[in-house]
Amino acid sequence: MRRKSIARRRPLIVFRAEPDENDATVFHVRAWIGDDVTGRLDRDRYIGNVRATEYAGTAFRGQWLDNTDTEAIHDLPDDVRDAIWSLDDAAREALKRGQL
């Protein structure tokens, strides 16, 4: 089966996915617009976050990802990967409407 990918989509979106420090059933995914040339995030262009509760998946370590890291995104637990995709989709809709 073909893997879903958000690679090669511009602008670059940088994600921080991490479990909650105090609660193993919660994780956070935050997103920023990144610089297409350097790959660095622009802290002034914060997009938003997803906070998922009742997470029962496997433990994962916090990590930085961008929308070109297809393999790294697929290595994450399903719930975390779905949160990244939903945040990416929401960001792109906001960009189309000129809200970001």
**Rounded mean pLDDT of 68-86?**
88
In a domain, 19, yes or no: yes
Q: 40 lies in a domain? A: yes
Is the residue at 53 inside a domain?
yes
pLDDT of 7 reads 58
36, amino acid identity: D
Asked, for residue 52, whether it belongs to a domain, the answer is yes
pLDDT greater than 60 at residue 86: yes
Residue 95 maps to a domain: no
Tally of domains in the chain: 1
| Separation in Å, CA 6 to CA 18, 69, 81 | 20, 8, 11
User: According to the model, what pLDDT value does residue 56 have?
Assistant: 82
Residue 34 lies in a domain: yes
Over the stretch 10-69, which tens digit does the pLDDT of each residue have? 788 899 999 988 888 899 999 999 888 887 888 888 988 998 888 888 888 899 998 888
In a domain, 98, yes or no: no
In a domain, 99, yes or no: no
Domain that holds residue 22: 15-57
Half-sphere exposure (CA, 13 Å, Cβ side) for 63?
14
